Amino acid sequence: MFGTAVSGLQQARHWRKEIKMPLVRIEKSKGLFQESGKGFLSKPLDTQAVVNNFEIDTSLGFNLPVSAADAGQTGVVLKDGTKNGQLALITNVGAEDFDFADDHFAAQPADATLVAGNSILCVWNSSAWSLTSQSLS
């Protein structure tokens, strides 16, 4: 039994030695953890297909790829957050732009098109999503 404990300790030391430069990761299955590497990575969740008036499910996690099958999709919204300070990163990984619904964000931009390839970072303020990805005016 003592031998097993020593062996476990040696294994733990071995793992600790292996993780030299940590990469911080967030994944749906494991939450927040570290492994060998560098930087900060949030594994994208499954891509959600955007259509007219689609509600992007923000309850799935932090890094949320979306894609519109056709051009001209409008009225897209984000599902309400569940906790004040919740963050949501939305990336349009498709080839088509789409529009968010009017008056959806805490401070609505004049135009609310998420261009193909672009991303937005939002924070839930307990009653609405606030866009961080805006130029200051």
Q: Which residues bind another protein (CB under 8 A)?
A: 19, 21-24, 32, 34, 37-44, 63, 65, 89, 91, 93, 97, 100, 109, 111-121, 131-135
Which residue number, 34 or 84, has a Cβ lying nearer to another protein?
A: 34
Which residue number, 5 or 107, has a Cβ lying nearer to another protein?
A: 107
For residues 64 and 38, the answer to whether their CB atoms sit within 8 Å is no
Residue type present at position 113 = T
State how beta strands 119-124 and 87-92 pair: antiparallel
Which residue number, 6 or 98, has a Cβ lying nearer to another protein?
A: 98
Residue type present at position 37 = G
Residue 1 C-beta: closest distance to another protein, Å: 33
Q: How far apart are CA 21 and CA 32, in angstroms?
A: 16
